[in-house]
Each structure stands twice: as C-alpha cells, then as structure tokens.
Copies of this chain bind each other. A is one copy, B any other.
Amino acid sequence: MADNILAGPRPAKKVGVNPIIWKMAVLFIIPLMTFIIPAPEGLQELAWKLLGIYLAAIVGLVIKPYPEAVILLLAIAASAGVIGNIGIPGTKGGLKIDSVLSGYASGTTWLVFAAFTLSAAFVTTGLGKRIAYTLVGKIGKTTLRLGYVTALLDLLLSPATPSNTARAGGIVFPIFNSIAVALGSDPEKSPSKVGRYLMVNIYMVTKTTSYMFLTGFAGNALALSLMRDILHIKLSWGGWALAAVFPGLIMLAVIPYIAYKIAPPELKTIDNKAIAEKGLAELGSMSIKEKGLGVIFIFALLGWIFSGYIGMNEASVAVSVMSITLLCGVVSWDDILKNKGGWSTLIWYGGIIGLSSTLAKSGFFTWLADSLSHRFDFSGMGGAVVPILLLASILVRYLFASGGAYVAAMVPVFATLGLVSGTPPMVLALAILFSNSYGGCVTHYGGAAGPVVFAAGYNDIKSWWIIGLTVSLITYAVQLLIGIPWWEFLISHGWL
C-alpha cells in the first residue's frame, strides 16, 4: 500500500511483464531514438544525443525502475560514453567527460547535502520535538490552534531543513500523529475526530514553507541551478526569502483554516498542557547537543542572510555549518554515514546538475528557445504568459510522484517557454520556483512528505485532493495578485 503510493502511477501493472524490464525498455528506447533519427536542423549531434539521455533520466525519475541515484549513475555513464566514445561530427571537442561530473563540485549539490545534516540533527538531537511540544503547550488549546502550531513549527524549522522528509516526515508528523492517537482519534474508527485534519494540514503547510526559503526544500537549489543556465539570473538566499515571505505568510495564515473548514475535526478543544508536559517530560532536560544545534542554527541563518557581506556563498555557509556541527559533536560522522537520504540526494542532484549543465553547454537550450520563438507567437499574450505557465505547472503535478523529479523535468521547459515569451526573467524565475512547491499540494504523492503522512491512514484521497487543489489555486491567486506586484516592487528598488 505504502509502496504503491510512493511509486505513484504504475503503467507497468497493466502489461503483465516484469515491471522493471518494461520500464527499462522504455528508458533504453528514448536514447536509442536519437541514434536512429537524425538531429533536428540547427541542433548539434552531441546535444541531440545528450538530450536523449537526459530525457531518459527524467522519465526514469518518474517511473522509478531503480532508485534515483542509480538512474543518474546510468545516465552519467551513458553520457560519458557518448561524449568520449562516438566521434560525433561537427562538435568542437570542447566538452570533456569530466563535464558530466561537474555537478558534484557544484555549490548547489553541496548546499543541499550539507543542509541535510542540519535536517537530520533536528531529528536525532530531539530539538525539533522540544520546540513542537513547547508550542503545543503555549498556544495549542484548540484543534484549529494546533493547525497553527503546525504552521509555526514548520516555519521555524524550514530555513535549515531542505529535507521535507526530515522536517515534515521526521519531526512534525510523528508528534502530531501521537497527539491524534492520544486524543482518541483512530485511523480506522474515528479519523475525523482530529487525525484527518492534523495530517492533511501538515502536508499543505510544509508545501508552503518549502518555497519560503532557498534551503526549505532540496528541489529549490536544484531548480535555481537549472534555471541559471537558461535565464542567467542571480538570486541570493536573502533575496529569495524576501520575495517569498509576503505571499508565504498569507498562505500560512489561511491554510489551517481552509483545512479546518473542508475536513472539520469533531473535537474542538483539547488539554494541550497535559500533552506538552508529557512530551517534554519524556525528552528530559535540554541536552548540550540540542543547545549546540540551537546556536549553530542561528549562525546558519545569519550566515545565509549575510553571506554576500562576508564574502561567502550559500554553499560555503552550509559546508561551514556542517563542519561545525561535526566539530562540536552535535552530529558524528557516523550519523552522517547513516543518513542514507543525504547520500542518495548527493548522487542524484550532482548527477542531474552535471547532465543539465552539459546539455546547456552543448547548446541545447539556446536552440530550443530559438526554435520555440520561431514556431510560437507570444506577441499578443502579454501578461498572460506567467498565469498560463503557472496553471500548467500545477495541473501537470498530478503526473509526478516526486518534487525533485518534477523540478528536473519541467523547470527547464517552463523557464525556456517563459524566456521566449519575453517575460522579465526574475519575475518568471520566482513564479516558477515557488510553484515547484505549492503545485505539489494537489496530490498525496506530490512530495516526499506526502506518502509518509498519508500512510498514517487518517485521510481519504477525496478530501485530501479537494483541500490540495483549493490550497494550490488560492496560492496561485495570491502569487499572481500579491506576489508579482511585490517582486516588481523589490526589483524596481534594487532589492532583488
């Protein structure tokens, strides 16, 4: 059941062959086509063949015959073979095999990998739990207020937890799940007592905080890195937060209420003091590791906010912060070795970044933009381009079972389309970057935390999807009506 949810749409089931073989056949046919069919006019042979591999990798991320990292290692090996092996006519030989590995030296990859350490540290030290129970005790005396506790808790953690699985799945979910159980809400018998509301709210909230900080979702840095090759924009950690804070806070204010109305909990008031006391008593007094993590977390935030002023970039700050947590013993090297999610992310992010930047260097995106601008006429559309792209970005999410896979597949396409239409690059970039997260609200498999929360069993697909679509569309409206004017204001004042 849980596996089914994680895998998302499974066309293989219908065929009755070993699904892995079926899926791998699809992946092999895609690059094979680029060997059979000649390259379109104006596109270099190398770019064409790399495109085949890139597309196969993206399809692989979606249909998942193997874990993401394996798909990317296969794609790297294939690209290295194509670049080095086949004497492709017409290429200038400027690209080396090492180019495909370049993603592993990319600041983006390291920003995400290093910040995963902080994400994990909030779980392992218990600091995340402590903050949660403190908030429950202080402000959680009704079920609705518990919804706002979720929002506040997630918001507090999000600047340094790019792993949604660690934040929503590893900290927020276990606590609210145990609160639901303690309040007598059973997944089978009485889901609508409190559990259904609390669970769906966790997911919608984390999909909102995810776009509020560059480091709030692993896919953010990936998306920004993919866009940089196409739109040539610069966006700092602080600039990102500034652009997102306004629309983001509005949504955090309304989401718990929307969920409350659509999936109303039967229980209205709760004994929050008792729950908090019990939870905090189990944690005991605050450990030195928790205190250390608290201090390091604040330094990380200051580092990211002021990175421009201290001559460092976001990745250097993240690596420094990771080193300091190791130096102080807040996490051990063995903790990091055991954090399998971090390593898998390192391999597949580094891989996709290396592949896409090699594809960019081969001239593919320039060619794509060029041929799109010849084929389509955006002249009469004016301001309608961003609304259409964003709506498409939400609707297409029904097909994607992973936020990262969506980013790798669609961000380059939407960025190129927007660029061709003549939309100002920064507005376009922000619109796409933020929709990466809230677009995932529409299903219970739209992001890594979804299946974890859904598997608790409190939710039915129908109410989840209704709430998800409502949240997505309201966010969409807020982004268009408040976000865009806000970003234009920031741009015109030189703050972005």
Contact = CB atoms under 8 A, between A and B. Distances in A.
A80 interface: yes
Contacts of A70: 323, 326-327, 333
Contact of A311 (B85, B320, B322, B340): B85
A103 B101 CA distance: 10
A316 B105 contact: no
Interface string A317-359: 0011011101100000110010010011000001000100000
Interface in A93-108: 97-98, 101-107
A146 interface: no
Q: Taking the full assembly, how many copies of this chain does it contain? A: 2
Contact of A320 (B77, B86, B324): B77
Interface string A455-468: 00000000000000
A316 B66 contact: no
Interface in A72-115: 73-74, 76-77, 80-81, 84-87, 97-98, 101-107, 109-110
Given A66-B326, A320-B77, A333-B67, A312 B102 contact: no
A363 to B, nearest CB: 21
Contacts of A102: 105
> What size tier do the contact residues of chain A reach?
35 or more
A212 interface: no
Q: Tell which of A74, A322, A337, A340 has the most Cβ of chain B within 10 Å.
A: A337
A381 B333 CA distance: 47
A69 B333 contact: yes
Contact of A86 (B74, B311, B327, B354): B311
Contact of A77 (B86, B313, B316): B316
Contacts of A344: 333, 337
A67 to B, nearest CB: 4
Contacts of A157: none
A198 B76 CA distance: 42
Given A67-B333, A77-B320, A337-B343, A106 B110 contact: no
Nearest to A24: B327
Given A77-B319, A101-B107, 6 more contacts: A66-B327, A70-B326, A77-B323, A80-B320, A98-B106, A104-B105
Interface of A: 24, 66-67, 69-70, 73-74, 76-77, 80-81, 84-87, 97-98, 101-107, 109-110, 310-313, 315-316, 319-320, 322-324, 326-327, 333-334, 337, 340, 343-344, 350, 354
